[in-house]
C-alpha cells in the first residue's frame, strides 16, 4: 500500500520532508515498516504538494503563507494576533505539486530541487500501484483541485461500478474528469465535488464518501489524507496512521519517520483533524454494507 504524510508548521524545505528521519518517506519506498500485508515496496512513483500565496501577495519574497496554528503557547498567541490577517489571505492559497512515476529514490529533484522550496504546508505520497491500475504520473497522488490536495492509501474492489454508483448518489462532477483510470483518482473527483463551494466540513465530506463506498464495497481500504494548506484531515480504514504534534508543528503520516517519542498511533476506523492548531481524533461512525448512510 502507499504511504503518505502531511505537514503543517513553520516554513520548511519541501524536499526535506520527503527525506527527514531514518524512516523517511523516501526510505519507506523500499523499506516500509507497516504495510499490513498490502504490498512490499512503494516504487510506482511519488508526489508532493505544497501551498503558497500568489507571488503578488508576497512582496517580501517569503514563503507566502502565514502559519497560524501550533501546539506551543507562543504559536497560539501568534495565531490570535494574526487571525484577522490570515482570514483575508488563506482564501487565496494555491497549491503546487511535483510528481514522477519513477521510484522516489531515482529522482535527483528530491535532493537537489525540492529542498529549495519552502512551505508551511506539505502533503506527499509514495505509490504502490494496485494490481491492474496504470503506472503513470497522473496516477500519483497528491491529486489537487483549487486549494485542496488529496492522497488515498488503499484500494476499492470493483471500483468502476462502485464509484459510478457513489458519484450518482452525490451528483458528483463527471468521473471522466479523473486524471487517471484508478480508484484513487475517481474517488478524488467525488470528494472534491463535496468540498467545492465550501458547504461541507471537510471531515464530514471524508466520512460521507467513505460511508457511501463501504456500503457498496465492504472490503474497501480507505485511508484518506486531505489538506487545504491550513488544515489536515486523515482517515484510517485498514492501514496505519500516526500523528506527531511537535513544538509548533504537526505531521500526520502513515508511519513515523523517526523515533520522536511524541508520535502517537491512530487506531483503525478513526478520523483525524488538525485544524486551528489542535489535533482531534474521533471514531468513524460508519456501518458497513448499508447504502445511503
Ligand atoms: N489504489 C491506489 C492506486 O493504485 C492506491 C494504491 C495503494 O494505496 N497502494 O493508485
Give the per-residue pLDDT at 285. 87
Q: How far apart are alpha carbons 78 and 86 in whole angstroms?
A: 11
Using a 6 Å cutoff on CB, does residue 140 contact ligand 1?
no
Q: How far apart are alpha carbons 47 and 138 in whole angstroms?
A: 10
**Atom number of ligand 1 nearest to Cα 42:** 9
| φ and ψ of 123, to 5 deg | -135, 125
Q: Does pLDDT of 253 surpass 60?
A: yes
Report pTM: 0.89
Q: Does pLDDT of 196 surpass 80?
A: yes
In a domain, 78, yes or no: yes
Q: Tell me, in angstroms, the distance from the centre of ligand 1 to residue 153's CA.
A: 6
Q: How far apart are alpha carbons 226 and 152 in whole angstroms?
A: 9
Give the per-residue pLDDT at 69. 53
Q: 36 falls in which pLDDT band (50, 70, 90)?
A: low
Give the per-residue pLDDT at 1. 62
Contact present, 243 and 264 (Cβ < 8 Å): yes
Active site residue 2: yes
**Which range, of 31-35, 130-134, 257-261, averages the lowest pLDDT?**
31-35
Domain with 268 in it: what CATH number?
Answer: 3.60.20.10
Q: Does pLDDT of 16 surpass 50?
A: yes
Q: How far apart are alpha carbons 207 and 203 in whole angstroms?
A: 6
Using a 6 Å cutoff on CB, does residue 127 contact ligand 1?
yes
- Mean pLDDT for 123-149 is 96
Using a 6 Å cutoff on CB, does residue 103 contact ligand 1?
no
Q: How far apart are alpha carbons 147 and 145 in whole angstroms?
A: 6
Q: Does pLDDT of 15 surpass 80?
A: yes
Segments forming the whole domain that contains residue 17: 2-283
Q: Does pLDDT of 152 surpass 50?
A: yes
- Convert the pLDDT of each residue in 198-212 to its tens digit: 789 999 999 999 999
For the chain, the residue count is: 293
- Convert the pLDDT of each residue in 77-86 to its tens digit: 344 333 333 4
Using a 6 Å cutoff on CB, does residue 224 contact ligand 1?
no
In a domain, 159, yes or no: yes
Give the per-residue pLDDT at 32. 73
The residue whose CB lies within 8 Å of the most ligand 1 atoms, and thus the one to mutate among 25, 152, 180, 236, is 152
Q: Does pLDDT of 21 surpass 50?
A: yes
In a domain, 117, yes or no: yes
Give the per-residue pLDDT at 224. 98
In a domain, 139, yes or no: yes
- Compare 68 and 249 and report the one with higher pLDDT: 249
In a domain, 61, yes or no: yes
The DSSP code sequence of 20-85 is -STT-HHHHTTS-S--TTS-S---S-EEEEEEE--GGG-TT-S-S------SSHHHHHHHHHHHHH
Q: Cell match 507566502: residue?
A: 64
In a domain, 288, yes or no: no
In a domain, 289, yes or no: no
Contact present, 214 and 289 (Cβ < 8 Å): yes
The overall average pLDDT reported for the chain is 88
**Atom number of ligand 1 nearest to Cα 153:** 8
What domain count does the chain have? 1
CB crowding 107-138: b at 16 or more within 10 Å, else e: beebeeebbebbbbbbbbbbbbbbeebeebee
In a domain, 11, yes or no: yes
Amino acid at each position: 500500500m502507499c504511504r503518505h504524510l502531511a505537514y503543517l508548521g513553520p516554513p520548511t524545505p519541501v524536499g526535506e520532508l520527503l527525506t527527514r528521519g531514518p524512516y523517511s518517506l523516501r526510505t519507506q519506498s523500499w523499506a516500509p515498516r507497516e504495510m499490513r500485508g498490502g504490498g512490499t515496496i512503494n516504487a510506482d512513483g511519488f508526489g508532493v504538494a505544497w501551498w503558497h500565496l500568489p507571488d503578488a501577495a508576497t512582496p517580501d519574497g517569503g514563503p507566502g503563507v502565514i502559519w497560524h496554528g501550533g501546539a506551543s503557547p507562543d504559536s497560539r498567541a501568534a495565531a490570535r494576533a494574526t487571525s484577522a490577517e490570515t482570514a483575508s489571505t488563506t482564501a487565496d492559497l494555491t497549491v503546487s505539486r511535483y510528481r514522477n512515476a519513477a521510484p522516489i529514490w531515482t529522482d535527483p529533484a528530491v535532493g537537489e530541487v525540492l529542498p529549495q522550496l519552502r512551505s508551511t504546508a506539505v502533503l506527499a505520497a509514495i505509490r504502490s500501484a494496485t494490481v491492474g491500475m496504470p503506472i503513470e504520473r497522473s496516477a500519483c497522488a497528491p491529486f489537487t483541485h483549487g486549494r485542496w490536495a488529496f492522497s488515498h492509501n488503499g484500494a476499492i474492489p470493483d471500483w468502476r461500478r462502485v464509484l459510478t454508483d457513489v458519484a450518482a448518489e452525490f451528483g458528483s462532477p463527471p468521473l471522466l474528469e479523473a486524471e487517471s483510470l484508478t480508484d484513487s483518482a475517481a474517488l478524488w473527483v467525488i470528494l472534491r465535488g463535496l468540498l467545492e463551494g465550501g458547504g461541507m466540513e471537510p471531515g464530514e465530506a471524508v466520512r460521507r464518501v467513505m460511508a457511501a463506498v463501504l456500503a457498496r464495497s465492504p472490503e474497501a481500504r480507505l485511508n484518506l489524507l486531505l489538506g487545504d494548506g491550513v488544515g489536515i484531515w486523515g482517515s484510517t480504514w485498514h492501514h496505519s496512521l500516526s500523528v506527531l504534534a511537535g513544538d509548533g508543528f504537526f505531521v500526520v503520516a502513515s508511519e513515523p519517520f523517526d523515533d520522536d517519542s511524541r508520535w502517537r498511533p491512530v487506531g483503525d476506523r478513526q478520523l483525524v483533524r488538525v485544524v486551528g492548531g489542535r489535533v482531534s481524533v474521533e471514531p468513524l461512525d460508519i456501518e458497513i454494507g448499508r447504502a445511503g448512510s
